[in-house]
Amino acid sequence: MQIGHDHRNDRSRSPEYAAVQGAIDALLNGPSNEIPDFDEYWQARGPAENANAEDYEVAGRRLFDFLITLRKSDKPLALCDFEIDIGAAKIVVKPDDYVERSDGRLVFRRIWTGRKTSNATESLDAAAYQLAAGRDAEVEFVFLTDEVAAPISLSQKKIKNRQDKIVDAVGKILSGDFPPNPNRTCPRCPHFFVCGNPPDGPLIKKNLN
């Protein structure tokens, strides 16, 4: 399964987001512990012409710096997929970051540039991450705008409850219950969580600067 891309209303296409995400991706996927040069990414992709460019840059740099501070004592490990076998299908969890802490504990992280939502650490994907981590690793959901790295630690009862919901959702996906809806945009389209490539047809920009 892949998360679909919003081809009609996508905040992630803004230049400030692209610049910050580029620097973050380089930090997380770099072959060594080297810290990429944020300025390079900002100059290449940031909103130079925008009247608020300076404010955006300060905000973007703060997100990037928080992530650097968070990982300061960690040893980055090669990113890899973790699978959960749920019978009829396999769920592949792709952490954004996988590290060994200075005390030897393994942690994998999901990282958002935005704010923490009220149920983020109790959600189905939190459960999927915890199931994928098993006993070998800990899980953190990181929200850069809030400068929060929230540990995921659901009780066995909650894990079981969410696992049942995941199995139910996968069964519905496999039986075609979530077809694309041409009148919707991501992420409101029912096909969003199973969308691979966007369907044929023109891409329409909406509400973008």
Q: How far is the CB of 32 from ligand SF4 (least distance, A)?
A: 35
Q: How far is the CB of 51 from ligand SF4 (least distance, A)?
A: 31
Pick the closer one to ligand SF4 by CB: 3 or 44: 3
Q: What is the DSSP string of the chain?
A: --PPP-SSS-GGGSHHHHHHHHHHHHHHH-SSSPPP-HHHHHHHHS-TTSTTHHHHHHHHHHHHHHHHHHTTT-EE-----EEEE-SS-EEEE--SEEEE-TTS-EEEEEEESSPPPTTGGGSHHHHHHHHHHTTT-EEEEEETTTTEEEEP---HHHHHHHHHHHHHHHHHHHTT-S---TT--TTTSTTGGG--SPPSS-----S--
Residue 20: C-alpha distances to residues 6, 74, 107, 176 (Å):
19, 21, 23, 37
Per-residue binding string, ligand SF4, 190-209, x by CB under 6 A, is -xx--x--xx----------
Residues of this chain, 142-181, that bind ligand SF4 according to CB under 6 A: 180
Residue 7 binds ligand SF4 (CB under 6 A)? yes
Pick the closer one to ligand SF4 by CB: 114 or 196: 196
Residue 185 binds ligand SF4 (CB under 6 A)? yes
Q: How far is the CB of 40 from ligand SF4 (least distance, A)?
A: 31
- How many residues bind to ligand SF4 according to rule CB under 6 A? 14
Q: How far is the CB of 12 from ligand SF4 (least distance, A)?
A: 13
Q: How far is the CB of 137 from ligand SF4 (least distance, A)?
A: 30
Pick the closer one to ligand SF4 by CB: 133 or 194: 194
Residue 189 binds ligand SF4 (CB under 6 A)? yes
By the criterion CB under 6 A, which residues form the site for ligand SF4? 4-7, 180, 184-186, 189, 191-192, 195, 198-199
